[in-house]
Each structure stands twice: as C-alpha cells, then as structure tokens.
Chain A
C-alpha cells in the first residue's frame, strides 16, 4: 500500500495504516543494518538534500547515513555557512538548490510550518526533520518502532512523556502517532511547560511525576533546555531535577517490563540519572540504531512519489 502523502510533514492526521506500513518497512531496513555490507541500491540516482537550518548532530547523521545506505546522492546544507547569511530567503535558497536537480529534501528549521512551506515552493518530496516546536515525525516513528520491537504491538501500551511538553516537537509527534496506533499517552511536566489546554490532545496530564509513573510501560524523557530556565519557565535546574528528574527511587511505580527512552541529547543528572540511562531497561541507544532504519524506510517509501501517483492508482 502506498502512503497517502508524498511528503512526511508530521504525524497529525496520518493513518494507522500508513504508520504501520512505515514501521513494517523499517523492519527490512533494520535487517540491512545487520549485514556485513550495509548498502542496497534502492535509491541509486536519487539526490537528497539535507537542509539544516538548526544545529543537529544525531538527526542529521542518521539521515545522511540512511540515504547513503540506500545509495542516494546526498548534499548537506547548513544555514550557518550559506547564502542565508547574505539575506537570501528560504524560498529562494531552496528553489536555487532544486534547480540543481534535487529529488528529496530533508528539512530541519526553527520555524513551525517551514516543511509545509517548502512543499509549496518545490517539486521534491519533503521530509520534516523537526520544525520549531511543531513536529518531528521521524523521531516519533523511531520511538514507536523501538516500542513495537520490544512489546510486539503499540495498541494498549501506556506511554508517558516527561519534560518540556510545550516546546517539544518530539512530544507532539509522539502524541499523534501513538494515539493513532491505539496507545494511551500521558504527559508530565511543570505547569509552565505544558501546552495550552494540553488535555485536548487526548492525553492524561500530570504535574506530579510519581503519580504519572504509576502503571506506565514506556517513559520517554525529553531534554530540558536550560534557556527555558533563563526565560522564567522554571526556577532552577536543581528544583527541576527534584520535581521531574527520573531516578531509581521512582522506577518502582512503573510496570514490570518497563522501558526508558530519551530522544537525546541527554542532560545526565538533570532529567535522568546515569544509572537509569545506562540501565537494563534503557533503549536509548537502540533508538539511535532504529532511527536509521526508520529513516531509510521513509526515504524508500516516499522516493519517486509524485502528486499524480495517487490519482493514477485510484483510476487503476
């Protein structure tokens, strides 16, 4: 079954079928990563632009490796070393690059909606690698892949997201994706870092971590950005850690076969203690490996998809 869209902009509104399709495809990609020769020719001749307007290490490397393992040609662009500094607009920048015959664009941008904006300026398939605090769909898909790998299914799982939910694109994409798959989702964080009317996302909302952890299968811990403290969202790192830091005392409230996840980069000793991050229930490094497989699956499924594809298939 082809995906409903030729882009991956977010998980809000994406169907269970499409998510399942991506996760199933990622299983085969994950197998490729275990081979001695980790390369297949699927995207030979396809050129992918990695357009990073925000600093990123892991997502960018993960995408680049995913592209290379599928034999795509890749170009990296970072805003700090480009014409953006000379005042060129996003639209002009990407149209110029596309004129060099690009097929797919992976974009990370500080402005929410930038990936959708690109779909209006370009012919390429657009993959959102994080837009502001809006969505980060590949991160959520790799999180779901990791959960499904361990538990066999997502339906019925109880997942808790802890931290700065308000400014987190990872949280939003996880909420939409997990809910589409039938998981039950809760969020927990300081009330200043919860989104307006958070319960309308269809999640349980907590401000007390111990209550939130009760009976949970998966805890996904978000990075707390220290500049939030400077802008008055919480009083101090110490108080944040006391109230929302995950430590081994708190683990007993979780279900037996619990899982600890973190999208990285971690502030060890702040939102999570080292013994838990490196403990037996942590899948943090597995997430990183799976990220590559999921991104390979997305690149593979979207590559070559045109606006007209869907219509033709309906006709047939």
Chain B
C-alpha cells in the first residue's frame, strides 16, 4: 500500500471497473509487499485498500465478473520494457505492432518502447504516427523511440523536435552505435532541449568489425570473429565523457561486460547523468554455450559473454548500477535463423520469458528481492522516459500485472504470442509465471485463455 493512497481522500466512485482482491501487492516506490486489494475506476487506480470493510463495500459496487481473486498471487504495477523491436513497418512476417504488444501482455508488460530500426526507420513524424495508430487497439501501451540520426545512418541529426512533437519518448540508433563522437555530442546537446534520453547501443564499430560472438576462448575454438568486450567498454566510456560534457542524458542499452558495468558505476558515483539496462540473456547465458552446434538463437549483439561478465551484470543489477531490466526482444523469422551461424541476424525474442528468468535466476538465487526486481521493471524505466507510469498512485492508469510467484513452467516457443520463435530458452524450466495483465483497468491477457 502506498503512503499516498492512504492519505489521499478521494470521493468514492459510484461503481468500480475492477477490484483485485487477496493478492500480495508490491509497491515499488515504497519497496513494500503486503496483502491488499486494488480498486480501479474509470481505468485508473482509486486506492490500494487493506481495510476489509472498505474492500467489501467496493466489491458490492462492482460487477461480480470484475472482481479478481488474486489470493496467493503477486500484484504489481504493470511491467515496462524500454527495449523492444516490433518489426512494423518492414518485416510484418516477424512481428507487428499488434503481435508484439500481445506478446508483451503475455509477458506481463503494459508498456513497451519500440526501437526505430524498422524499414523505413522511425525517423519522421509520419512513421511515429503510423506506429502509434497501429498500437491504438493493442494489448499493451506502445511508446515510440525515434531515430537519433536520419535513416539511422549516423550521419546527421534526425528531426528530433518533430519526433518529440509526434510523441517519441527517447531517441536511439539501436542496432548501431553512433560512432562519430562529434555527432553524438550534437545529439546529446540537442536532445537536452527536449529532456529526453539517448538510448545507446554501445559497441565501437571498428572494434567489433564483422564479429559474431564474444571474443574469448570460445570464439577462438570455433574460429569465428569475435566482438570483444572492450568494444562496449570504450563506447560506454566515450559516452560517459560526452554526457558529462554536454549535460545530456545517456541510457546505455543492454550492458553486457565487466568493464562497462564498472565504468557506469564510477560515472554514477561522479554524478554523470547516465542510466543503464540489462537483458535476461546477459545475466543467464555464457558464450561457451555456443559450441560445435553453432545455435543461431544464441547469436545476439552485444554478445553473450563469460561467467565473469554475467557475474558483473548481476552485481550491477544488485547495487543499482543497472537501473532496469529490458528484453531487447528481437524477433527473427525461422528462415533467417536457419542458416550458417555467421549469416544469421543477431537477436532473440524475450518478452514472454523475462519474468520467469528474473524470478529463477535473480530472485531465487538470492541476488534481489521481488520488490527490487519489480522496481527495475516498472518505476525505474518509467523515470528514465519520464512517464507517469509504473506505480500504484491514485489517478494513474490502472496497469497491473498479476504473477504466480512460484509456479513452475517450461518454455514452449510454439506457444508464444510473438510471431517469431527465436529463443535459446526453449525447454528451460522456469519458476514464476504471469497470470494476468491489466491495461487501463481492462484485462488484456489471462493465462490459459
């Protein structure tokens, strides 16, 4: 229960859209977890209620069908993912705005940010509006990240003012690093006017070359070109200096290496305006899984690295160096992945497995608590993109995720809502499953239906 919800005296509505009772409610701002009911009217939170009489009174003013019994379940603000690739426009066979949003809802998300590396790139108002209009009826709120440079070519600034006007919440050339330091400086300076972050895919292009996996003994054995961790570290260090110089906001995407985590930790201690995300594959997988079988589902940029890197990413999650957990959900068709390893495009889908991976590999292993995990998937990402989302305050959009915290399940890619199946987690046994996702007071996903 939030402190605010108790203090705020709101006029009681005539009726409620939805009442979620009996669940253990996580408040990521207070860091609390307690048994309470959540009352929702007009698509917004009314209150988090512990008083039995008030709960019963509210239930009486609610359609029976709209009273959800969440006993034994966790109830959290709707999850937010800052890093998702929807393939529309361009590759609607791999993912559309609608299918990606459905996959997001099934993964417990009520808000996702889509990256601009579509075809054409999201670098003008028209394309932003197209994506937003496609998303209007989707199962999950879709926020758009615009390209930082025209056509994502890394040559000249995109019309960032126009993009902001059309509704983008950040800019990024994700997939590519903004290699030219002078251009990056301008992107940071210019974006400061709009108070939006630059989401940076930090891998120096020259150092990664045409590398296809982490550079390590694993890549040496297989004889494939590596992408060394130092390529990420150098890219991160440069952006730290530029952020500090310009006062712009840098958000480092998918942090994957020891050196990068340490660089961000130091920069934060020095007060640099920098935030960071980590992806499930970077805290669960190591590069030696890529073996003689050359599983193309393990190919991703930045690549999965060594156990020391996994440990560092987890340590960064634990001590707050890494602000949030994002998926980098990257759908690819079977045709594209059923090829030689170095011919396969990088990326894996992640929306529908992230919660189970966080529970099994971060919470169950004792690294973080449920409250901390939920903070990194709700209020922390919301703050980075400055959206009034991710908590349970009265008047906020009633976005909720209901989780069966200890339910064991096996990842079955054939059951994904995503149009793509490219995951290395197929067959993994996970604990913690999304039961229901509620967007603006309406159930948009219910497990088993």
Cross-chain contact B217 with A113 (CB below 8 angstroms): no
Per-residue contact bits, chain B 211-224, to A (CB 8 Å; 1 contact, 0 not): 00001110111111
A132 on the B face (CB < 8 A)? yes
Looking at chain A, what size class is its interface with the partner chain?
20 to 34
Task: Point out the residues of chain A lying under 8 angstroms from B292, CB to CB.
Answer: 9-10, 12-13, 113, 116
A169 on the B face (CB < 8 A)? yes
Most buried by A among B216, B219, B223: B223
- Known interface pairs A89-B335, A111-B342, A116-B293. Does A12 touch B223 (Cβ–Cβ under 8 Å)? no
Task: Point out the residues of chain B lying under 8 angstroms from A134, CB to CB.
Answer: 222-224
Contact among B294, B338, B342 for A116, CB-based, below 8 A: B294
A312 on the B face (CB < 8 A)? no
Task: Point out the residues of chain A lying under 8 angstroms from B339, CB to CB.
Answer: 89-91, 117
Residues of chain B at interface, number, CB under 8 A: 20
- Interface set, chain B 135-159, CB cutoff 8 A to A: none
A249 to B342 CA separation, bound complex (whole angstroms) = 42
- Known interface pairs A111-B342, A196-B215. Does A132 touch B224 (Cβ–Cβ under 8 Å)? yes
| Interface SS majority for chain A | loop
- Interface set, chain B 304-342, CB cutoff 8 A to A: 335, 338-342
A197 on the B face (CB < 8 A)? yes
Q: Distance in Å from the Cβ of A175 to the closest Cβ of chain B?
A: 10
Cross-chain contact A112 with B294 (CB below 8 angstroms): yes
A135 on the B face (CB < 8 A)? yes
Per-residue contact bits, chain A 1-26, to B (CB 8 Å; 1 contact, 0 not): 00000000110110000000000000
Task: Point out the residues of chain A lying under 8 angstroms from B215, CB to CB.
Answer: 196
Closest to A119 in B: B293
A69 on the B face (CB < 8 A)? no
Most buried by A among B216, B221, B339, B342: B221
- Interface set, chain B 340-393, CB cutoff 8 A to A: 340-343
7 nearest A-B residue pairs (beta carbon): A133-B223, A113-B294, A111-B340, A195-B220, A134-B223, A197-B217, A196-B220
Excluding A111-B342, A113-B224, 6 further A-B contacts by CB distance (< 8 Å) are A9-B292, A91-B339, A112-B222, A112-B342, A172-B221, A197-B216
Could you pull out 17 A-B pairs where Cβ atoms are within 8 angstroms?
Answer: A12-B292, A90-B339, A111-B340, A112-B224, A112-B341, A113-B224, A116-B292, A132-B223, A132-B342, A133-B223, A134-B223, A135-B223, A172-B223, A196-B215, A196-B217, A196-B220, A200-B217
| A interface, CB within 8 angstroms of B | 9-10, 12-13, 89-91, 109, 111-114, 116-117, 132-135, 166-169, 172, 195-198, 200-201
